[in-house]
Amino acid sequence: MSLPKAVLLLSGGLDSYTAGAMMRADGYELFALTVRYGQVHAREIEAAREVAKALGVTRHVELDVNLAAFGGSALLGDGEVPKNRPLDEHVIPVTYVPARNTILLSIALGWAEVVGAGAIVIGVNALDYSGYPDCRPEYLEAFERLARLATRAGVEGQSIRVLAPLVHLSKADIIRQGHALGLNYGLTHSCYDPGPGGRPCGACDSCRLRAKGFAEAGLTDPAIRG
Amino acid sequence: MSLPKAVLLLSGGLDSYTAGAMMRADGYELFALTVRYGQVHAREIEAAREVAKALGVTRHVELDVNLAAFGGSALLGDGEVPKNRPLDEHVIPVTYVPARNTILLSIALGWAEVVGAGAIVIGVNALDYSGYPDCRPEYLEAFERLARLATRAGVEGQSIRVLAPLVHLSKADIIRQGHALGLNYGLTHSCYDPGPGGRPCGACDSCRLRAKGFAEAGLTDPAIRG
């Protein structure tokens, strides 16, 4: 019997690695999609390649969608990545990339339909996160409803699920899960504004959420070299 | 007072040209987006450039999203474009591109948010069409609901509408509308499988729906040169 298939959105960060490993542990065959959308932290693409290998995915596609043509985000080089921002501030930060997850999920949906995958997997998290609207459970449910109407698969009753296994986990719990699964987080890259050689800045939201997660999990981050 | 803004999905065919002209007549400032998604009929991209000029858009962005990496459609070079297929056949044809309109609308949504546009315009039509699921009104409504949850604009109460001014029109009525607005359909390209020099094949769904529309409207297609 063939394994069920899933398309995994793979950024190169620790969340999508963990989400993919959880799916693999659940018996899924993985197809990994990484999008070069014009992110200033293109270092994460190299990490995604390593993670795809570590996950043993069937195929890893890297696709260009140059959202930097539009600008509108510090992650697209439009303004500075904020440093040491209060993480409990209830505003959507300037690192928000307009419609990013909708674009990523849409492309994953197309691929899922082609390979006959019953699921798209996204490593979003709505607890220790930056407050992006397209990481919330109600958004993911709306995308799944849309997918049923959008596709031949949906019309023919073969729905494509949107799975976000980390959505309700804290960063510490995500890291604990990955640790239990034996993942090497040294392969991953999280920083929005890396220095020479891809060195994490330690001060952007993504670095700080990661550091907080490792600290709370009582573990050492193997990507941080003294 | 500045004009309201809209992002127009512009393929180079006659529908998106007409939809854009109707929006312009309604007083919108237009931002045109054309996606090179790997379509075999890349001739339509040149047409889109001409149409963008004719519409006087503020900016025309051409973006690459190589869906041919996935295949799964005759329009992506995966199999033959069907010729002289019965148009009232109730199946989704092999020219269906998985999730195409969802991908196009998502990218348009991102740009709309960046420029502060209140609308995305798509020239889909659910009457004289090929039966694609992502051309139906219920699909478009679901995308609009998703857009409210997906974006900062939506969270802040500035909803981005999905406008499909042609959705309930016959091809003949679309052409009559364009004729009344003085559009030059000689700029447009519809054929899925053009011959040398971009000459329409006359036998694919798109050519036949176009020919039927011109015939029913009692007009001559200026793009057909004897």
CA dihedral B202, B204, B207, B209 (to 10 degrees): 130
As a whole number of Å, the CA-based R_g of chain B is 17
Please, which pLDDT band fits residue B226 given cuts at 50, 70 and 90?
Answer: low
Please, which pLDDT band fits residue A88 given cuts at 50, 70 and 90?
Answer: confident
Q: Answer whether residue A90 shows pLDDT above 80.
A: no
How wide is the angle at C-alpha A201 spanned by C-alphas A199 and A207, nearest 5°?
Answer: 105
SS (H, E, C) chain A: CCCCEEEEECCCCHHHHHHHHHHHHCCCEEEEEEEECCCCCCHHHHHHHHHHHHHCCCEEEEEECCHHHCCCCHHHCCCCCCCCCCCCCCCCCCCCCCCHHHHHHHHHHHHHHHHCCCEEECCCCCCCCCCCHHHCHHHHHHHHHHHHHHCHHHHCCCCCEEECCCCCCCHHHHHHHHHHCCCCHHHCCCCCCCCHHHCCCCCCHHHHHHHHHHHHHCCCCCCCCC
**What ipTM does this complex have?**
0.96
Nearest to A120 by CA among A4, A35, A2, A38: A4
pTM of the entire predicted model: 0.97
Instruction: Return the pLDDT at B144.
Output: 97
Q: In what order do the strands lie in the sheet with A5-9?
A: A59-64, A29-36, A5-9, A119-121, A161-163
Subunit contact A98:B151, Cβ cutoff 8 A: yes
Nearest to B21 by CA among B35, B36, B6: B6
Contacts of residue B97 in chain A, CB cutoff 8 Å?
Answer: 110
- Taking the CA of residue B154 and the nearest CA in chain A, the distance in Å comes to 9
Please, which pLDDT band fits residue B106 given cuts at 50, 70 and 90?
Answer: very high
- Backbone φ and ψ of A209, nearest 5°: -65, -35
Q: Answer whether residue B130 shows pLDDT above 90.
A: no
- Taking the CA of residue B76 and the nearest CA in chain A, the distance in Å comes to 12
Other beta carbons within 10 Å of B54: 15
Instruction: Return the pLDDT at B201.
Output: 96
Give the residue with greater pLDDT, A185 vs A158. Answer: A185
List, in sequence order, the alpha helices (H) in chain B.
14-25, 43-55, 100-115, 137-150, 152-155, 171-180, 205-217
Q: Answer whether residue B115 shows pLDDT above 70.
A: yes
As a whole number of Å, the CA-based R_g of chain A is 17
Instruction: Return the structure tokens found at B92.
Output: 């989704």
Q: pLDDT tens across A164-218, in order? A: 999 999 999 999 999 999 999 999 999 999 999 899 999 999 999 999 999 999 9
- Averaged pLDDT of chain A: 95
Average pLDDT over residues A81-95: 89
- Taking the CA of residue A5 and the nearest CA in chain B, the distance in Å comes to 15
Contacts of residue B151 in chain A, CB cutoff 8 Å?
Answer: 98-99, 133-134
Average pLDDT over residues B36-62: 96
Average pLDDT over residues A108-134: 94
Nearest beta carbon to residue B109 from set A63, A66, A99: A99
Which span out of B41-45, B144-148, B222-226 was modeled with the highest average pLDDT? Answer: B144-148
Instruction: Return the pLDDT at A226.
Output: 54
Average pLDDT over residues B24-39: 97
Chain A residues interacting with chain B (CB cutoff of 8 angstroms): 61, 63-67, 69-72, 92, 96-103, 105-107, 109-111, 113-115, 133-134, 136, 138-139, 142-143, 145-147, 149-152, 154-155
Subunit contact B69:A61, Cβ cutoff 8 A: yes
The CATH class that applies to domain B5-217 reads alpha beta
Average pLDDT over residues A37-53: 96
Instruction: Return the structure tokens found at A106.
Output: 């849409």
Average pLDDT over residues A150-157: 92
Instruction: Return the structure tokens found at B12.
Output: 């180079």
CA distances from A138 to A144, A184, B112, B146 (A): 10, 31, 22, 9
- Taking the CA of residue B25 and the nearest CA in chain A, the distance in Å comes to 25
Distance CA B203, CA B84 (A): 5
SS3 state of residue B134 = helix
Give the residue with greater pLDDT, A127 vs A65. Answer: A65
Distance CA A223, CA A197 (A): 12
